[in-house]
Amino acid sequence: MAGAKSSTTTMALALGLILMTLVGECYGQCSANFRVGYYEDKCGKVDAEALVFFVVKKYFNKDKDTVADLVRLQFHDCFVRGCDASLLLEGEDTEKTARPNQSVGGYEIVEEAKVALDKYCPGVVSCADIVVLAARAATFLGGAYWYEVETGRKDGNVSRATEATEGLPSPRLSIPDSVKFFQDRLYNYRGTEKPDPSMNPTLLPSLQEKCPRGALSSNEAFLDQTKGSEFVMDNGYYKRILEGKGILEVDQQLALHDLTRDIVINAAEDEKVFLAKIGPAMRKMGLIGVLTEGENRLNTCKKVR
């Protein structure tokens, strides 16, 4: 697994593998304009997805932490207001200023890709899509299998620090609370005793069936304590937490709790299990709260038009 500079990079992948299996299809404002290959022939002769990959690879060649930065960037964006690039907006009391986001990296990579794309097709490729495409590129460069992602997202224009503070899980989160974090969206969103209204109502029953209410269904340290694989997408992390070498409480609990121990064991015993699942997990994370109505930012991801 990729090395990490922060306390929540591992959660981006570990919880992604566990919780995102509950997300089967897109929910939010999804439509026929949200699909794999959406940007084909929309940017002249320029391949938008290839350009994003090129920019990410340039940074990756200089700093292998690029993998952890971009995976975590997608996680922190998608888990607050959905995958709408609201994390990238600058200003007073925006998500970027919230404490959980103080150590998030990779903003400059997304910004460079946005500026480059807007030279060829201004306002066509959204910042929200660039975040997901950049995370896909970083995951692949880190050693995972290539995976397809849907594109056609629009950019959000609301960003609140309080939502990031309240919405992102703590690194001390227990495994049952990690599941509850997801269950609250199904049954008691923000204390309303109702599901999250942004969730597609056709998806809700199947998720509730899979996850019944109340059921358990600045110094740096590498979260993967496997020497030589700190910047590689592999199963070394799972082997180490089985040995009691988890750096964070939530990491270690993954290997101990009945809800997740078998998943950890399977990933540790067969590296192909992890490599096969990380792509689909990242893709499913990118389906959270998708907007396909609205507009894309122009020339920058830091502010709306």
Q: Which of 280, 242, 269, 214 is nearest to 16 (CA)?
A: 280
Catalytic residue among 6, 18, 29, 76: 76
| Residue position matching structure tokens 């939502």 | 163
> pLDDT tens digit string along 207-221?
677 678 877 664 355
Give the C-alpha separation, 42 to 221, whole Å.
43
Give the C-alpha separation, 252 to 238, whole Å.
10
pLDDT of residue 7: 36
pLDDT of residue 36: 94
257 in active site: no
Q: Which two tokens stand for residue 102?
A: 């103080």
Amino acid at 211: C
Q: What percent of the chain has pLDDT over 70?
A: 74
pLDDT of residue 22: 44
- H or E stretch covering 28: strand 28-29
pLDDT of residue 3: 37
Domains of the chain are: 9-215+282-291 (1.10.520.10)
> pLDDT tens digit string along 223-245?
555 666 666 677 778 888 888 76
| Residue position matching structure tokens 């969103």 | 189
pTM of the model: 0.75
pLDDT of residue 8: 40
Strand partners, 290: 28
pLDDT of residue 191: 86
Alpha-carbon distance values, 67 to 74, 82, 183 (Å) = 11, 21, 29
Q: Is 80 exposed, middle or buried (0-12, 13-18, 19+ CB in 10 A)?
A: buried
SS3 category, 84:
coil
- The residues of the chain scoring below 50 in pLDDT are 1-12, 19-24, 218-219
Instruction: Give the ranges where the chain is alpha helix by DSSP (H).
Output: 9-19, 48-62, 66-78, 107-120, 127-141, 161-167, 175-187, 204-210, 236-242, 249-256, 261-269, 271-285
Q: How many CA atoms lie within 13 A of 134 on its CB side?
A: 35
Alpha-carbon distance values, 215 to 111, 152, 175, 193, 234 (Å) = 42, 35, 12, 16, 31
> Could you tell me what percentage of the chain is helix, strand and coil, using 3-state DSSP and rounding each to the nearest 5?
50, 5, 45
SS3 category, 266:
helix
